[in-house]
Amino acid sequence: MKINKKSSLNLSHGELQEIFDNIYLVTGAMNIKGRLPLCFSRNMTVIREGNHLTLINSVRLNEAGLANLESLGSIKHVIRLAGFHGMDDPFYKERYGARIWSVNALYFKGVNFNIEIEDGYFRADENIGESTILPVKDAKPVCINTSNPKELLIRLEREGGILISGDSLQNWAEPDQYFNLPAKLMMRLMGFIKPCNIGPAWYKYAQPDSAELKKICDLKFEHLIPAHGSPVIGNAREKYLPAFNRI
């Protein structure tokens, strides 16, 4: 089988945990190379409907992790919420033939925004807009169109409303086991280590319009499952209000 070189083979991860009925979470490592390599955590959310699985914020799992995932159902869809994410989407396309649904943003490396469409390393099957019917029946996209690259969240109409975020809404109250020492120190200084937080690097580089971002407060959501940090279970909208008031 052809292995995608840009995917995160060999990065460690934990076990799939069921956090709501038919909604699973797995946390794994992410590595940013550089003079001072930073290692921190990211989450993949898995939604099961019947025998079909949809992966959100994909994280490549090791063979044992993939076997566990396969025991839940067939991997049919992958949804990419964050323009800065997506490196493992090609792996799930190649290995499982999953249909790839993406925020309308190029797949690119780094933070260079002056790139042309042919510079993208991968193309999704579907670009998601406001009116896209997602492959999860009670899921609706929440688009942040003023950010560059664009960003999405998904709202599930269950359990009082569940928001699933990419880089926009994060919840690292403390560094977890996947942080290396440089990340523990630097990311605290950079403002990442804060509960119910707006992703500071995403906010700085993608420059979303604050008024558009604050519209998230108009949504009803009891819970939030972020790509970075722990799930916020219960009263999530109210817990994020201070972060929205800071911008």
Where does this chain bind Fe ion (CB under 5 A)?
167
> Least distance (Å) from Fe ion to the CB of residue 84?
5
Q: Which is nearer to Fe ion, 50 or 110 (CB)?
A: 110
CB 85 to Fe ion: min, Å: 6
Residues 21 and 14: their CA atoms lie apart, in Å, by 19
- Compute the least distance from the CB of residue 144 to Fe ion, in Å: 14
Residue whose CB is nearest to Fe ion in the complex, by number = 167
Report the nearest approach of Fe ion to the CB of residue 36 (Å). Answer: 18
Closer residue to Fe ion (CB): 3 or 190:
190
Q: Specify the residue, 38 or 98, whose C-beta has the smaller distance to Fe ion.
A: 38
The rounded Cα 80 to chain-centroid distance in angstroms is 7
Shortest distance, position 122 Cβ to Fe ion, whole Å: 17
**Residue 39 or 72 having the CB closest to Fe ion:** 39
Convert the chain into a string of H (helix), E (strand) and C (coil): CCCCCCCCCCCCECCCEEEECCEEEEEEEEEECCCCCEEEEEEEEEEEECCEEEEECCCCCCHHHHHHHHHHCEEEEEEECECCCCCCHHHHHHHHCCEEEEECCCCCCCCCCCCCHHHCCCCCCEEECCCCCCCCCCEEEEEECCCCCCEEEEEECCCCCEEEECCCEEEECCCCCCCCHHHHHHHHHCCCCEEEEECHHHHHHHCCCHHHHHHHHHCCCCEEECCCECCEECCHHHHHHHHHHHC
Closer residue to Fe ion, CB minimum distance, 13 or 96: 13
Nearest to Fe ion of 96, 192 (CB atom):
192
**Closest distance of CB 39 from Fe ion, Å:** 13
